[in-house]
Amino acid sequence: MKLAIFPLAFLIFLPSILLSQNTINDNPMKWMKGWTNFDPNHETYSSADEDIPTIIDQDSYLTNDMTYFLSGNVYVTNGATLTIQEGTVIRCDTETATSLIISKGSKLIARGLSGQPIVFTSNKSPKARKSGDWGGIIIAGSGTINSPSESGIIEGDFMPQYSLYGGKDDNEMTAIMTYVRIEYAGKKINQSKELNGLSLYAIGKNSILNNIMISHSADDSFEFFGGAVNMNNLISYKAKDDDFDFTLGYRGELYNIVAVRHPYISDASGSYSIEIDGYDKKLGFTNKTLSSVRIKDATLINLSDSGNYQHTAAAISSKNLARLNVTNSRISGYANVVKFDKSYTSYADLERSFSLENSIFNVHDTNVLVPLEAKSEVQKLLKYNMFTTQFRNVSDFFEKPLDSKNPKFTLKQSRDSYTVMQ
């Protein structure tokens, strides 16, 4: 088979199109104000006052009048709940393998406020912090996954008795996280094992996760392993690998998400703003539902320009018959909108598995990459959208995307001169 290519020049003007320009414009991103930090390497945090114990097996509370030191793999076990007060800062050890693991049956309650976010960050001094300084946050739930075993062991070198996840309860509540920043996580364990900023294993619908920013992760920012939790107001900033990664039959909805990539920051295996697998080929697949995700109001940006755009890949990678619906979104600075693997063997597979509508996109290569003989109908996957007739630099498209401290990712009104409807 050869790779099918569908050029940008295929334009359809529809005066009565259902696409609303106002819908695309109406994304002031006010929800990002007050708690985010796009320049955390210059932030000064207080030195740690108290160490967090390695095993937390009874209900515990971290207060914001102290700064905490997280060192080594810290496990919340025995059905205990770890509660973190708004405004609390947790400094994470960079010399040892350090992660916070919420074991199956236990809970994390981390309720920050817009003016008092909870921060997990590197223990290094300002200007010395870097991606992968520490591991990340891992939460194991009892929701469903679509592998034959119906359960699994979390990835990494962790104590096996605290590493089980999965079950049959998609309505469970394992975590409440709101107004939380996770900085410089994703530490590499070995050549094949890396940790994510936030790993969510089989998390149920009654968990509440919103207003979470993950910056400078050395692997994925957010990774979903099965489960059915819905999330909103999420930011991934300059991750080395994927921004949002879905696998093992995750089924849920995300809205108000932002992924900001850089053309020179990528994993050797390929990195995307969204990577979705219908199932994990290593673990096998049952007749349970494939990964199926609905995303609304996404802003996926690669900070590329005419001098470096050739280093970019697709915004979205879809594999193993995964299903993805994206609406009311902005995709800019990538080579392609979406790339499909060989599991999609016909246009019918693609049509029932992917849609992008009421959105705007700006790419420098073909819109859709798919290992099928070229068929013009594949272009229909991107109907009811606006797009640029030629590649535009990120600064041409958004208000202040390159501002190092206070970037602004709202679309410029002037784009009307170079966008068309399809």
- Please report, for the chain, the start and end positions of each structural domain, with discontinuous segments joined by +: 1-33+267-422, 50-241
Question: What is the percent of the chain with per-residue pLDDT over 90, rounded to a whole number?
Answer: 75
Which residues partner with 272 through β-bridges?
none
Cα–Cα distance measured from residue 198 to residue 110, given in angstroms and rounded to the nearest whole number: 13
Under 8 Å CB-to-CB from 222, ≥6 apart: which residues? Answer: 196, 197, 198, 200, 212, 214, 234, 236, 243, 244, 245
What's the rounded mean pLDDT across residues 49-74? 97
Write down the number of H helices and E strands in the chain: 3, 33
What's the rounded mean pLDDT across residues 38-64? 97
Length of the chain as a residue count: 422
Q: What is residue 371's predicted lDDT score, i.e. its pLDDT?
A: 84
Q: Give per-residue pLDDT as tens, 127-171.
A: 999 999 999 999 999 999 999 988 999 999 999 999 999 999 999
Whether residue 73 has pLDDT greater than 70: yes
Q: Give per-residue pLDDT as tens, 265-324.
A: 888 778 999 999 999 988 888 767 899 999 999 999 999 998 899 899 999 999 999 999
Under 8 Å CB-to-CB from 201, ≥6 apart: which residues? Answer: 138, 139, 140, 141, 152, 154, 165, 166, 225, 226, 227
Q: Give per-residue pLDDT as tens, 214-243.
A: 999 999 999 999 999 999 999 999 999 999
Whether residue 381 has pLDDT greater than 90: no
Q: What is residue 19's predicted lDDT score, i.e. its pLDDT?
A: 43
Q: Give per-residue pLDDT as tens, 335-377.
A: 999 999 999 988 889 999 999 999 999 999 989 999 876 556 7
Under 8 Å CB-to-CB from 30, ≥6 apart: which residues? Answer: none
Torsion of CA 130, 135, 137, 139, to 10 degrees: 150
Q: What is residue 390's predicted lDDT score, i.e. its pLDDT?
A: 87
pTM recorded for the entire structure: 0.92
- Other C-beta atoms closer than 10 Å to the C-beta of 2 total 8
Q: Give per-residue pLDDT as tens, 178-187.
A: 999 999 999 8
Whether residue 328 has pLDDT greater than 70: yes
What's the rounded mean pLDDT across residues 196-217? 98
Confidence of residue 21 (pLDDT cuts 50, 70, 90): very low
Whether residue 36 has pLDDT greater than 80: yes
Whether residue 332 has pLDDT greater than 90: yes
Question: What is the percent of the chain with per-residue pLDDT over 70, rounded to a whole number?
Answer: 89
Whether residue 418 has pLDDT greater than 70: no
Q: What is residue 13's predicted lDDT score, i.e. its pLDDT?
A: 35
Q: What is residue 187's predicted lDDT score, i.e. its pLDDT?
A: 85
Cα–Cα distance measured from residue 272 to residue 244, given in angstroms and rounded to the nearest whole number: 8
Q: What is residue 11's predicted lDDT score, i.e. its pLDDT?
A: 35
| Residue 308: both structure tokens together | 């470096």
Give the chain's mean pLDDT: 89
